[in-house]
Chain A
Amino acid sequence: MKKGETDTLCLSLLVIGDEDAVRLVRSHRCIAVDGCPNECSKKNLELLGAKLAASYRVVNLLREHRDLRPRAVAFLDEDGRKLAGILAEEIGSKIDELNGEGAVS
Chain B
Amino acid sequence: MSSPRKIGVVSCSGECCVEGTISRIATRIVLEELKPDNTVTICLPLFSIGEKGERMFAKYFPTIAVDGCDKRCAENAIEKYSGKIACSLVVSDLLKNWGVKNPGPRRELNKDGLEAATKVADKIAAAMDEIFKGGQ
Could you tell me which A residues sit within 8 Å of B by CB distance?
A: 8-13, 15-16, 18, 38, 40-41, 43-44, 73-75
B42 at the interface (CB under 8 A from A): no
Residues on B with C-beta less than 8 A from A40 are 43, 45-46, 48-49
Residues on B with C-beta less than 8 A from A73 are 28, 32
Beta-carbon contact of A13 and B71 below 8 Å? yes
Cα(A38)–Cα(B43), bound, Å: 11
B130 at the interface (CB under 8 A from A): no
B20 at the interface (CB under 8 A from A): yes
Residues on A with C-beta less than 8 A from B76 are 16
Residues on A with C-beta less than 8 A from B62 are none
B10-51 vs A, CB cutoff 8 Å, 1 = contact: the mask equals 001111100010001100110010000000000111101101
Beta-carbon contact of A10 and B51 below 8 Å? no
Q: What is the minimal beta-carbon distance from A21 to any residue of chain B, in angstroms?
A: 9
Beta-carbon contact of A15 and B77 below 8 Å? yes
- Interchain Cβ contacts under 8 Å between A and B, 24 examples: A8-B15, A8-B16, A9-B15, A10-B15, A10-B16, A11-B13, A11-B15, A11-B45, A12-B45, A12-B77, A15-B49, A15-B77, A16-B48, A16-B73, A16-B76, A18-B71, A40-B43, A40-B48, A43-B49, A44-B49, A73-B28, A74-B24, A74-B25, A74-B29
Beta-carbon contact of B28 and A12 below 8 Å? no
Q: Which single member of B13, B29, B46 contacts A10 (CB below 8 Å)?
A: B13
Q: What is the minimal beta-carbon distance from A87 to any residue of chain B, in angstroms?
A: 13
When A and B form their complex, what is the total count of cross-chain residue pairs whose Cβ atoms lie within 8 Å?
A: 64
Cα(A13)–Cα(B54), bound, Å: 18
B9 at the interface (CB under 8 A from A): no
Cα(A12)–Cα(B69), bound, Å: 11
| In the complex, chain B residues 52-83 whose Cβ is within 8 Å of any chain A Cβ | 71, 73-74, 76-77, 80
